[in-house]
Amino acid sequence: MRSILIITLLSCFCAAYEAKVFSKCELARKLKTKGMDGYHGYSLANWVCMAQYESKFDTRAFNGRNTDGSKDYGIFQLNSRWWCKNSNQPSANACNKTCNKFLDDNIDDDITCAKRVVRDPNGMSAWVAWVKHCKGKNLSRYLAGCRL
């Protein structure tokens, strides 16, 4: 019984270790190094704004309450119906990833998938939070003080 408790506690610590909540500037720097500033016509501030409203910069953000039964994963809330595969429903899996890959602290694969999303005709309008909070707005505050 004691070994089960120890294993359970270690699992919790490992899961917490894999999670990361970025600061706005830390995320902006990471996205910039990955070529997101100006990618398909979207400024770095658009990406940071979108991530703020989708996940609050949390790599472990998860939304399992979509009306169509799909789920959203990670810092960019990538949807299981279109972008990744979970075991519960059919998916286009356009990013060729399992959805849980978007819940760790390595966001390189999340960024690659986000680039795939914006290459579709909807561009960043694929993210409802971007349309509602970022599109057409002054986004200078999302990079303010970041010294990029």
pLDDT of residue 16: 46
Active site annotation includes 104: no
Q: Say whether domain 20-142 belongs to CATH 3.30.930.10.
A: no
DSSP 21: B
Run of H or E including 16: helix 2-18
pLDDT of residue 142: 97
Active site annotation includes 54: yes
CA 84 – CA 67 distance, rounded (Å): 17
Q: Which of left, alpha, beta for 49 (phi over 0: left; psi -120 to 50: alpha)?
A: alpha
Rounded to a whole number of angstroms, the CA Rg of the chain reads: 16
pLDDT, averaged per 10 consecutive residues of the chain (148 residues), comes to: 43 56 98 98 98 98 93 97 89 95 97 98 97 98 96
CA atoms within 13 A on the CB side of 124: 25
Catalytic member of 54, 109, 110, 120: 54
Could you tell me where the DSSP H helices lie in 19-138?
24-33, 44-55, 108-119, 128-133
Phi and psi at 19, nearest 5°, equal -85, 150
Catalytic member of 58, 68, 72, 109: 72
pLDDT of residue 15: 46
